[in-house]
Structure 1
Amino acid sequence: MCGGIVLTYKDALDYIYGFTDYEKQTAFQYTSERFDLGRVVRLLGLLDNPHHRFRSIHVAGTKGKGSTSAMLASILRAAGYRVGLYTSPHLHTFRERIRLDGEIISEGSVAALTERLQPLVAQVPDLTTFEVITVLACEYFAENAADLVVLEVGLGGRLDATNVVTPLVAVITPISFDHVQYLGHTLTAIATEKAGIIKPGVPVVSAPQPAEALTVIEAVCLARGAPLTVVDRAWTWRSEEATPEGQTFSARPTGGTWNTYRLPLLGNHQLGNAATALTTVDVLRGLGIDIPSDAVVNGLANVHWPGRLEVMGRHPWVVVDGAHNGDSAQKLAAALPALFPYRRMILVYGALAGHSVPDMLAALLPVADEVILTRVGNPRGVDPATLLVEVQARGRQAECVAPVGAALERALRIASAEDLVCVTGSLYVVADARVAWYRHVGEPEPPTDP
């Protein structure tokens, strides 16, 4: 409370976003001076170190870290634990970033926590938006007695604000090229940043990696005495059935028996994420965390993670996916014809500055019959005219229609019932498309911020 006026949710968001917000900037230096974990440690200390009052699982990686985090949180909840989940960015509302037992944080809690943090934040110069959010999340999980918290890294790992925890286990999902202007232009450099979450003696689970990235992870684990489990050495898995409603797969640990799992998330790459979650569960069990087998089955079957190969509509198919680098675009391009019967694919594409547009277009254009370029409602959104130059350089033509909602409406007008409309390029594009779709069909829109 300031001068007798209680902070509102909008006031809290304005305050939080008033700090330096690197999610909305297109150019900055990724250095330990700019991303100083000492600031986060100091602010947490002023709150009596809430991150010491819960056990955590720390998840880094280029792709799949959000899906893997959601799977782990769902499994742990099914096992009966009070589970926090911290992820970024959000699709529709800031509150999605901080979840407890599957429920997003309330507006009132955001406002009350922000009000409590304000006098303490004033004692720590140069804090960033993400640092403040991370501390706020830690305080929320601590005061609500979370048993276990799954923390997803925001950017990189080594200098990320979440890297103040000493987790039960560190998880590194697949590493590929993304944010190269900050993390480096080689897999070795990028993997070094991701491996920055590895702590002395803390077990590490690594998803299947390119050899160059795995070499880095193995070297860091050896140097820090951190036991390493590589997923495709510890588990074997195979697809059984995949439909637009979900997929079934079988998996077994090395030397173990096969079990069958149901997963609502689409795409063969999600099986790798699920195997990473299964491997992490094994490591947690070895640390004394009781996770029954039926909790694993139920947790995977009930995981919810929208915006990733998500089917919004049929006749025509309307699919949204947050792919934003070449690797994820390749996986999307392979998944669409494997999962959906369609005559033509109409691609609606938008991108953020800093993402690898050439690599994404190289993967997506060959499978697209029509292309509509759009602009996301984010300061980092790339002008469709700039995207058009890239498309034309590959011998293709495209329409430019903005904003995303108008682009989706255009795609639906030219689509037949046998076609597929795919909206992709970033989670920000997906968020705009999801809202536009709900308006189009007259369904309630997801919660948004003032």
Structure 2
Amino acid sequence: MPACRKGKSAMSGRPYEPLSPDRTYDKALTYLYNLQKFGIKFGLSQTKNLLRAFGDPQGKLSFVHIAGSNGKGSVAAMISSIYAQAGYRVGLFTSPHLVDFRERFQINGRMISKSQALRLIREIKAKTDPQEPPTFFEFVTAMALIWFEREKVDLAVMETGLGGRLDATNVIRPLISIITTVSLEHQDLLGRTLEKIAWEKAGIIKKGVPIVSGVGQAKIRRLYEDICRERKAPLFLAGRDFRTKKRDNGTFNYYGMSEGRFGVQSSRLRTPKYKGLKPTLLGDHQIKNAALALTAVELLRERFPVTEEQIRRGLAEVTWPGRLEVFSENPRIVLDGAHNPEAMRVLARVLPRTISYRKLLLVFGMMKDKNIRRTLAHIAPLADRIFFTRAEYDRSAEPERLSRLLDGAASEICSSVPLAIQRAVETAGPEDLILVTGSLFIVGEARAFLGSR
């Protein structure tokens, strides 16, 4: 296997994705990714206009809407898995994808077919104004809503793309909203302070719609209490209204809501609602995510009843790739999409507690618009050697830039993700761990490469 070396990898305006043998489908994807040149446009008018041309499908569906700095996808996957186990037809819209564009659109764990995706792209494109084109995310949000309505899903779980208030997904009126966590991220777009970012995410709070949140900062909790009081939206906070307790055997107990339409402050209850729950997703932070999912399921129990056994199976069988994912054992490779300081702080705390290893070999790359220095500072002290790399995407930070942030560290510069992984595998001993992290785009390329070996 070749050694790492300096050099430029191919750059593209679209994230890495293996080309499809279907050239018509691939051409349609290229059209979609080219919409990224219009950047991020906050506002709902373009999405509403697109959907109006298709009969406003968002008005015919039931939704769970999820925002937050970290954990959105995991919570969405858990909720979807639980309801699928209960026999409901559940749509799931998430972003970004890891390897296949169609990962963004799923019903009961099955991706949209290429023929369905192609048909939707063509239909929506025909309704757009070439002089005022939608952004990439506006387009794919419309795709999801139109597809879910046509497929007659019972419930659609929608993850925001960025923020909340002016995110394209905010055209929906959900049965329940969830804000997982709030940390400093996308400050150039959402605001320079934690309060401003939290306020943007609070834009998904609708009048009279219950909101579940895992935010821990006292000032953000007070902000959400004020907003919910003003909008008459019942608010349920982790630690106050529901809680979990981890057990020594790796399972956890859930202390949930008391009876009543929207429950009461029930963290004082001594008896757990569910005992010995076992999540498939690794890490203590996934127990916190599970608490948010379980509370949402409890609040929706009148509309979408589920049994305890269906809840247990849903948590046990949920899959969410690229989140503390043990991809292989020989060599041992873990993939995690942590891409901001708070997510990396959690990963650095959870990893040594969850997986044993002798040395840690880190394959690391990030997007250049992220807080690289603070993110890297959490994980670099754990690493015995770092292989800096970049994704085949024009937002990627150059590995040379990453390396300069850690002068004196044992590191190599690798021009591509496959090359970085090859070097890490060459270097690793039988008891060592290779961790690929820093970006979901890096993780996506790693999965595609490792899956093809």
The normalised TM-score by structure 1 is 0.89
Q: Unmatched 5+ residue regions in structure 1?
A: 1-5, 29-33, 441-450
SS of residue matched to 1:175:
coil
The aligned residue for residue 449 of structure 2 is 436
The amino acid of 2:426's aligned partner reads: R
Residues 283 and 123 of structure 1, relative CA distance in 2, 3 Å threshold: farther
The reply on whether 1:403 has 2:416 as its aligned counterpart is yes
Q: How does 1:250-265 map to 2 (within 5 A)?
A: 250-253=253-256, 254=266, 255=269, 256-257=271-272, 258-265=274-281
The reply on whether 1:170 has 2:183 as its aligned counterpart is no
Equivalent-residue separation in structure 2 for 1:403 and 1:199 (angstroms): 44
1:212 is displaced (CA, Å) by: 2.6
Equivalent-residue separation in structure 2 for 1:191 and 1:300 (angstroms): 28
The reply on whether 1:349 has 2:364 as its aligned counterpart is yes
My pick for the range that moved more, 327-336 or 162-171, is 327-336
Residues 83 and 390 of structure 1, relative CA distance in 2, 3 Å threshold: same
Q: How does 1:54-93 map to 2 (within 5 A)?
A: 54-93=61-100
- Asked if the contact 1:43–1:124 (Cα under 8 Å) also holds between the matched residues in 2, the reply is no
The reply on whether 1:289 has 2:296 as its aligned counterpart is no
My pick for the range that moved more, 330-339 or 247-256, is 247-256
What do residues 333-357 of structure 1 show as CA deviations (whole Å, max 9, x unaligned)? 1122112221111111100022111
Q: How does 1:234-313 map to 2 (within 5 A)?
A: 234-240=241-247, 247-253=250-256, 254=266, 255=269, 256-257=271-272, 258-285=274-301, 287-313=302-328
Equivalent-residue separation in structure 2 for 1:344 and 1:179 (angstroms): 33
Equivalent-residue separation in structure 2 for 1:123 and 1:82 (angstroms): 35
Residues 316 and 20 of structure 1, relative CA distance in 2, 3 Å threshold: closer
1:21 is displaced (CA, Å) by: 5.0
Q: List 4+ stretches of structure 1 deviating above 6 A.
A: none
The amino acid of 1:270's aligned partner reads: Q
- Asked if the contact 1:39–1:124 (Cα under 8 Å) also holds between the matched residues in 2, the reply is no
The aligned residue for residue 115 of structure 2 is 108
The amino acid of 2:298's aligned partner reads: D
The aligned residue for residue 8 of structure 1 is 24
The amino acid of 2:308's aligned partner reads: S
1:7 is displaced (CA, Å) by: 9.7
Equivalent-residue separation in structure 2 for 1:431 and 1:190 (angstroms): 27
- Asked if the contact 2:78–2:293 (Cα under 8 Å) also holds between the matched residues in 1, the reply is yes
Equivalent-residue separation in structure 2 for 1:319 and 1:21 (angstroms): 33
Residues 388 and 123 of structure 1, relative CA distance in 2, 3 Å threshold: closer
Equivalent-residue separation in structure 2 for 1:352 and 1:370 (angstroms): 21
SS of residue matched to 2:184:
coil
1:396 is displaced (CA, Å) by: 2.4
1:423 alignment partner, one of 404, 419, 436: 436
- Asked if the contact 1:7–1:112 (Cα under 8 Å) also holds between the matched residues in 2, the reply is no
Matched positions, count: 419
- Asked if the contact 1:42–1:124 (Cα under 8 Å) also holds between the matched residues in 2, the reply is no
1:204 is displaced (CA, Å) by: 0.5
- Asked if the contact 1:56–1:149 (Cα under 8 Å) also holds between the matched residues in 2, the reply is yes
- Asked if the contact 2:384–2:410 (Cα under 8 Å) also holds between the matched residues in 1, the reply is no
SS of residue matched to 1:156:
coil
The aligned residue for residue 233 of structure 1 is 240
Equivalent-residue separation in structure 2 for 1:314 and 1:95 (angstroms): 28
Equivalent-residue separation in structure 1 for 2:73 and 2:160 (angstroms): 9
Q: Unmatched 5+ residue regions in structure 2?
A: 1-21, 257-265
1:123 is displaced (CA, Å) by: 7.9
What do residues 11-68 of structure 1 show as CA deviations (whole Å, max 9, x unaligned)? 321232232357xx6xx6xxxxx32201111111111101111100000000000000
Residues 404 and 111 of structure 1, relative CA distance in 2, 3 Å threshold: same
The amino acid of 1:389's aligned partner reads: R
Equivalent-residue separation in structure 1 for 2:353 and 2:59 (angstroms): 45
Equivalent-residue separation in structure 2 for 1:116 and 1:432 (angstroms): 30
- Asked if the contact 1:234–1:279 (Cα under 8 Å) also holds between the matched residues in 2, the reply is no
Equivalent-residue separation in structure 2 for 1:389 and 1:71 (angstroms): 39
- Asked if the contact 1:374–1:403 (Cα under 8 Å) also holds between the matched residues in 2, the reply is yes
1:124 is displaced (CA, Å) by: 8.2
- Asked if the contact 2:363–2:436 (Cα under 8 Å) also holds between the matched residues in 1, the reply is yes
Equivalent-residue separation in structure 2 for 1:322 and 1:8 (angstroms): 31
- Asked if the contact 1:371–1:397 (Cα under 8 Å) also holds between the matched residues in 2, the reply is yes
- Asked if the contact 2:75–2:290 (Cα under 8 Å) also holds between the matched residues in 1, the reply is yes
Equivalent-residue separation in structure 2 for 1:261 and 1:187 (angstroms): 33
RMSD (Å), alpha carbons: 1.8
1:218 is displaced (CA, Å) by: 1.6
The reply on whether 1:212 has 2:219 as its aligned counterpart is yes
The amino acid of 2:306's aligned partner reads: I
The normalised TM-score by structure 2 is 0.89
The aligned residue for residue 31 of structure 1 is none
The aligned residue for residue 414 of structure 1 is 427
The aligned residue for residue 262 of structure 2 is none
- Asked if the contact 2:205–2:211 (Cα under 8 Å) also holds between the matched residues in 1, the reply is yes
